Amino acid sequence: MRCRLRRPQPGRPVRRPGRDRQGERFEGQVALVTGGGSGIGLAVAEVLAAGGASVGLFGRNLERLRTAEKKIVAAGGEATACAGDVRDLDSVQSAVAEVEQRYGPITFAVNAAGTGVGQKYLCDEDEESWLRTIDTNLNGSFRFCRAVVPGMMHRRRGSIVLVSSAAGKRGVPANTAYSASKWGLNGLVRSLALEVGSAHVRVNAVCPGFTDTEMVRGESL
Ligand SMILES: NC(=O)c1ccc[n+]([C@@H]2O[C@H](COP(=O)([O-])OP(=O)(O)OC[C@H]3O[C@@H](n4cnc5c(N)ncnc54)[C@H](OP(=O)(O)O)[C@@H]3O)[C@@H](O)[C@H]2O)c1
Protein backbone atom coordinates (compact mmCIF):
# COMPACT_ATOMS: atom_id res chain seq x y z
CA MET A 1 0.00 0.00 0.00
CA ARG A 2 1.30 3.44 -0.88
CA CYS A 3 1.33 6.04 1.79
CA ARG A 4 0.56 9.55 0.59
CA LEU A 5 2.14 12.37 2.53
CA ARG A 6 0.32 15.66 2.51
CA ARG A 7 2.54 18.45 1.31
CA PRO A 8 1.96 21.97 2.59
CA GLN A 9 -0.12 23.80 0.02
CA PRO A 10 1.05 27.22 -1.03
CA GLY A 11 -1.37 29.99 -0.11
CA ARG A 12 -3.17 27.84 2.44
CA PRO A 13 -3.73 29.73 5.72
CA VAL A 14 -1.59 28.60 8.62
CA ARG A 15 -3.43 28.08 11.91
CA ARG A 16 -2.29 30.69 14.39
CA PRO A 17 -1.84 29.92 18.08
CA GLY A 18 -4.92 30.55 20.16
CA ARG A 19 -7.35 29.62 17.41
CA ASP A 20 -9.89 26.89 18.04
CA ARG A 21 -9.98 23.60 16.09
CA GLN A 22 -12.23 25.26 13.58
CA GLY A 23 -9.80 28.18 13.63
CA GLU A 24 -9.69 28.60 9.86
CA ARG A 25 -13.45 28.85 9.47
CA PHE A 26 -13.40 32.64 9.25
CA GLU A 27 -9.75 33.09 8.22
CA GLY A 28 -9.37 36.17 6.02
CA GLN A 29 -12.85 37.49 6.88
CA VAL A 30 -13.39 40.98 8.24
CA ALA A 31 -16.28 41.60 10.60
CA LEU A 32 -17.93 44.62 12.17
CA VAL A 33 -20.00 43.85 15.26
CA THR A 34 -22.09 46.57 16.91
CA GLY A 35 -22.83 46.02 20.58
CA GLY A 36 -19.50 44.18 20.51
CA GLY A 37 -18.53 45.31 24.00
CA SER A 38 -21.01 43.16 25.88
CA GLY A 39 -23.58 40.37 25.88
CA ILE A 40 -24.62 38.76 22.61
CA GLY A 41 -22.47 41.08 20.46
CA LEU A 42 -19.32 40.28 22.43
CA ALA A 43 -20.05 36.52 22.26
CA VAL A 44 -20.47 36.76 18.47
CA ALA A 45 -17.25 38.79 18.16
CA GLU A 46 -15.33 36.22 20.20
CA VAL A 47 -16.56 33.33 18.04
CA LEU A 48 -15.69 35.19 14.83
CA ALA A 49 -12.22 36.10 16.13
CA ALA A 50 -11.58 32.54 17.38
CA GLY A 51 -12.43 31.38 13.87
CA GLY A 52 -9.81 33.70 12.38
CA ALA A 53 -11.80 36.82 11.44
CA SER A 54 -10.51 40.32 12.14
CA VAL A 55 -13.23 42.06 14.10
CA GLY A 56 -14.22 45.69 14.60
CA LEU A 57 -16.11 46.22 17.88
CA PHE A 58 -18.59 49.10 17.85
CA GLY A 59 -20.49 50.75 20.70
CA ARG A 60 -20.76 53.93 22.74
CA ASN A 61 -18.63 52.86 25.70
CA LEU A 62 -15.02 52.93 24.46
CA GLU A 63 -13.57 51.68 27.73
CA ARG A 64 -15.72 48.56 27.59
CA LEU A 65 -14.87 48.02 23.93
CA ARG A 66 -11.16 48.26 24.74
CA THR A 67 -11.60 45.62 27.45
CA ALA A 68 -13.32 43.35 24.90
CA GLU A 69 -10.56 44.06 22.37
CA LYS A 70 -7.88 43.07 24.92
CA LYS A 71 -9.78 39.88 25.80
CA ILE A 72 -9.97 38.84 22.13
CA VAL A 73 -6.33 39.72 21.43
CA ALA A 74 -5.20 37.85 24.56
CA ALA A 75 -6.99 34.77 23.19
CA GLY A 76 -4.97 35.03 19.96
CA GLY A 77 -7.57 36.90 17.88
CA GLU A 78 -7.60 40.19 16.05
CA ALA A 79 -9.91 43.01 17.12
CA THR A 80 -10.15 46.77 17.26
CA ALA A 81 -12.47 49.04 19.23
CA CYS A 82 -14.41 51.79 17.41
CA ALA A 83 -16.54 54.13 19.49
CA GLY A 84 -19.80 55.31 17.95
CA ASP A 85 -23.55 55.40 18.22
CA VAL A 86 -26.04 53.67 15.89
CA ARG A 87 -28.23 56.78 16.31
CA ASP A 88 -25.63 58.70 14.31
CA LEU A 89 -25.04 57.60 10.70
CA ASP A 90 -21.71 59.46 10.44
CA SER A 91 -20.26 57.52 13.36
CA VAL A 92 -21.33 54.18 11.84
CA GLN A 93 -19.85 55.16 8.48
CA SER A 94 -16.61 56.26 10.18
CA ALA A 95 -16.34 52.88 11.91
CA VAL A 96 -16.85 51.07 8.60
CA ALA A 97 -14.08 53.19 7.03
CA GLU A 98 -11.77 52.64 10.02
CA VAL A 99 -12.22 48.85 10.04
CA GLU A 100 -11.83 48.59 6.26
CA GLN A 101 -8.70 50.73 6.30
CA ARG A 102 -7.19 48.53 8.99
CA TYR A 103 -8.28 45.06 7.89
CA GLY A 104 -9.79 45.29 4.39
CA PRO A 105 -13.37 45.07 3.09
CA ILE A 106 -16.01 44.02 5.61
CA THR A 107 -17.47 40.61 4.75
CA PHE A 108 -19.51 39.99 7.92
CA ALA A 109 -21.63 42.70 9.52
CA VAL A 110 -23.50 41.96 12.73
CA ASN A 111 -25.76 44.54 14.36
CA ALA A 112 -26.29 43.53 17.98
CA ALA A 113 -26.58 47.08 19.32
CA GLY A 114 -29.96 47.45 20.90
CA THR A 115 -31.83 48.75 23.88
CA GLY A 116 -34.67 47.50 26.02
CA VAL A 117 -34.22 50.15 28.68
CA GLY A 118 -37.30 51.66 30.34
CA GLN A 119 -40.01 49.55 28.69
CA LYS A 120 -43.44 50.36 30.15
CA TYR A 121 -47.14 49.79 29.67
CA LEU A 122 -48.34 52.01 26.84
CA CYS A 123 -50.38 54.25 29.17
CA ASP A 124 -47.19 55.05 31.12
CA GLU A 125 -44.95 55.41 28.07
CA ASP A 126 -43.70 58.88 27.18
CA GLU A 127 -42.93 59.83 23.60
CA GLU A 128 -39.23 60.36 24.26
CA SER A 129 -38.69 56.84 25.54
CA TRP A 130 -40.70 55.33 22.63
CA LEU A 131 -38.64 57.32 20.11
CA ARG A 132 -35.33 56.36 21.77
CA THR A 133 -36.14 52.65 21.50
CA ILE A 134 -37.23 52.91 17.87
CA ASP A 135 -34.26 55.12 17.00
CA THR A 136 -31.75 52.66 18.42
CA ASN A 137 -33.25 49.32 17.43
CA LEU A 138 -34.98 50.07 14.13
CA ASN A 139 -33.44 53.28 12.77
CA GLY A 140 -30.04 52.10 14.06
CA SER A 141 -30.44 48.93 11.99
CA PHE A 142 -31.24 51.05 8.94
CA ARG A 143 -28.13 53.19 9.52
CA PHE A 144 -25.99 50.10 10.00
CA CYS A 145 -27.24 48.57 6.74
CA ARG A 146 -26.94 51.91 4.95
CA ALA A 147 -23.26 52.04 5.95
CA VAL A 148 -22.26 48.49 4.97
CA VAL A 149 -24.54 47.51 2.06
CA PRO A 150 -23.09 49.74 -0.72
CA GLY A 151 -19.56 48.31 -0.33
CA MET A 152 -20.83 44.74 -0.13
CA MET A 153 -22.99 45.21 -3.24
CA HIS A 154 -20.08 46.75 -5.09
CA ARG A 155 -17.88 43.76 -4.21
CA ARG A 156 -20.79 41.33 -4.70
CA ARG A 157 -19.94 39.69 -1.39
CA GLY A 158 -21.14 39.97 2.18
CA SER A 159 -23.33 38.69 4.96
CA ILE A 160 -25.35 40.87 7.31
CA VAL A 161 -27.00 39.64 10.49
CA LEU A 162 -29.31 41.90 12.48
CA VAL A 163 -30.04 40.79 16.02
CA SER A 164 -33.80 40.94 16.40
CA SER A 165 -35.79 39.20 19.14
CA ALA A 166 -38.53 36.70 19.83
CA ALA A 167 -40.43 39.90 20.71
CA GLY A 168 -40.29 40.72 16.99
CA LYS A 169 -42.44 37.71 16.23
CA ARG A 170 -45.14 38.05 18.87
CA GLY A 171 -46.79 40.64 21.07
CA VAL A 172 -45.28 41.38 24.48
CA PRO A 173 -47.21 43.50 27.00
CA ALA A 174 -45.32 46.37 28.63
CA ASN A 175 -42.85 46.12 25.74
CA THR A 176 -44.71 47.83 22.90
CA ALA A 177 -41.79 50.03 21.79
CA TYR A 178 -39.24 47.22 21.98
CA SER A 179 -41.53 44.71 20.28
CA ALA A 180 -42.54 47.19 17.55
CA SER A 181 -38.87 48.04 16.91
CA LYS A 182 -38.02 44.36 16.41
CA TRP A 183 -41.07 43.69 14.21
CA GLY A 184 -39.90 46.64 12.09
CA LEU A 185 -36.37 45.25 12.04
CA ASN A 186 -37.69 41.91 10.73
CA GLY A 187 -39.50 43.77 7.94
CA LEU A 188 -36.27 45.59 7.08
CA VAL A 189 -34.42 42.27 6.91
CA ARG A 190 -37.01 40.55 4.70
CA SER A 191 -37.22 43.45 2.25
CA LEU A 192 -33.48 44.16 2.13
CA ALA A 193 -32.67 40.46 1.65
CA LEU A 194 -34.84 40.49 -1.50
CA GLU A 195 -33.33 43.78 -2.61
CA VAL A 196 -29.66 42.78 -2.41
CA GLY A 197 -29.71 38.98 -2.71
CA SER A 198 -29.05 39.09 -6.44
CA ALA A 199 -25.85 41.05 -5.65
CA HIS A 200 -24.66 38.10 -3.51
CA VAL A 201 -25.27 39.93 -0.24
CA ARG A 202 -27.14 37.90 2.38
CA VAL A 203 -29.29 39.59 5.03
CA ASN A 204 -30.68 37.62 7.96
CA ALA A 205 -32.19 38.22 11.38
CA VAL A 206 -31.73 36.12 14.47
CA CYS A 207 -34.52 36.22 17.04
CA PRO A 208 -33.09 35.17 20.41
CA GLY A 209 -35.28 34.38 23.36
CA PHE A 210 -34.40 35.34 26.91
CA THR A 211 -30.60 35.54 27.28
CA ASP A 212 -28.83 36.45 30.50
CA THR A 213 -27.09 39.74 29.63
CA GLU A 214 -26.84 43.26 31.03
CA MET A 215 -30.02 44.14 29.13
CA VAL A 216 -32.26 41.70 30.94
CA ARG A 217 -30.51 42.37 34.25
CA GLY A 218 -31.50 46.02 33.80
CA GLU A 219 -27.86 47.13 33.77
CA SER A 220 -27.81 48.56 30.23
CA LEU A 221 -27.74 52.32 29.72
N1 LIG B 1 -30.79 39.46 26.26
C2 LIG B 1 -31.93 39.01 25.71
O3 LIG B 1 -32.74 38.29 26.35
C4 LIG B 1 -32.24 39.34 24.27
C5 LIG B 1 -33.28 38.65 23.65
C6 LIG B 1 -33.58 38.94 22.33
C7 LIG B 1 -32.85 39.90 21.65
N8 LIG B 1 -31.86 40.57 22.28
C9 LIG B 1 -31.13 41.58 21.50
O10 LIG B 1 -29.76 41.27 21.51
C11 LIG B 1 -29.02 42.47 21.26
C12 LIG B 1 -27.86 42.54 22.25
O13 LIG B 1 -28.39 42.73 23.57
P14 LIG B 1 -27.78 42.00 24.83
O15 LIG B 1 -28.84 41.16 25.40
O16 LIG B 1 -26.46 41.40 24.49
O17 LIG B 1 -27.62 43.22 25.86
P18 LIG B 1 -26.39 44.18 26.18
O19 LIG B 1 -25.26 43.43 26.75
O20 LIG B 1 -26.97 45.31 26.96
O21 LIG B 1 -25.93 44.67 24.72
C22 LIG B 1 -26.46 45.78 24.08
C23 LIG B 1 -25.29 46.41 23.34
O24 LIG B 1 -25.78 47.43 22.48
C25 LIG B 1 -24.90 48.52 22.58
N26 LIG B 1 -25.68 49.72 22.30
C27 LIG B 1 -26.83 50.12 22.90
N28 LIG B 1 -27.23 51.28 22.39
C29 LIG B 1 -26.33 51.61 21.43
C30 LIG B 1 -26.21 52.69 20.54
N31 LIG B 1 -27.10 53.69 20.53
N32 LIG B 1 -25.16 52.71 19.68
C33 LIG B 1 -24.24 51.71 19.68
N34 LIG B 1 -24.30 50.66 20.50
C35 LIG B 1 -25.34 50.62 21.37
C36 LIG B 1 -24.34 48.51 23.99
O37 LIG B 1 -23.05 49.07 24.05
P38 LIG B 1 -22.77 50.56 24.60
O39 LIG B 1 -23.53 50.73 25.87
O40 LIG B 1 -21.28 50.59 24.75
O41 LIG B 1 -23.23 51.46 23.51
C42 LIG B 1 -24.27 47.02 24.28
O43 LIG B 1 -22.98 46.52 23.96
C44 LIG B 1 -30.02 43.62 21.36
O45 LIG B 1 -30.37 44.03 20.06
C46 LIG B 1 -31.22 42.99 22.05
O47 LIG B 1 -32.42 43.63 21.69
C48 LIG B 1 -31.53 40.31 23.58
CATH number at residue 186: 3.40.50.720
pLDDT at 2 over 70: no
What is the structure's pLDDT at 16? 52
Tell me the backbone φ, ψ of residue 80, rounded to 5 degrees.
-145, 140
Structure-model confidence comparison of residues 20 and 86, the more confident one: 86
Chain CA centroid to CA 194, Å: 20
Ligand 1 atom closest to the Cα of residue 34 is 34
What is the 4 CA–ligand 1 centroid distance (Å)? 51
Supply the residue whose CA is at minimum distance from atom 23 of ligand 1.
35
**pLDDT value of position 11:** 40
DSSP 138: I
> How many Å apart are CA 101 and CA 86, to the nearest integer?
20
Average pLDDT rounded to a whole number, residues 85-92: 98
In a domain, 16, yes or no: no
Q: Is residue 216 part of a domain?
A: no
Mutation test of ligand 1: which of 63, 96, 136, 215 has the most ligand atoms closer than 8 Å to its C-beta?
215
- Parent domain of 102: 30-206
Q: What's the structural domain count of the chain?
A: 1
pLDDT single digits (tens) 96-155: 999 999 999 999 999 999 999 889 999 999 999 999 999 999 999 999 999 999 999 999
User: 115 CA to middle of ligand 1, Å?
Assistant: 5
103 belongs to the catalytic site: no
Q: Could you tell me what percent of the chain has a pLDDT over 70?
A: 89
The 10 Å CB-count burial string (b at 16+, else e) for 58-79 is: bbbeeebbbbbbeebeeeebbb
pLDDT at site 12? 44
Q: What is the pLDDT of residue 218?
A: 79
Answer whether residue 111 is part of any domain: yes
Q: Is the pLDDT of residue 9 over 80?
A: no
Q: Does residue 9 fall inside a structural domain?
A: no
CA 95 – CA 92 distance, rounded (Å): 5
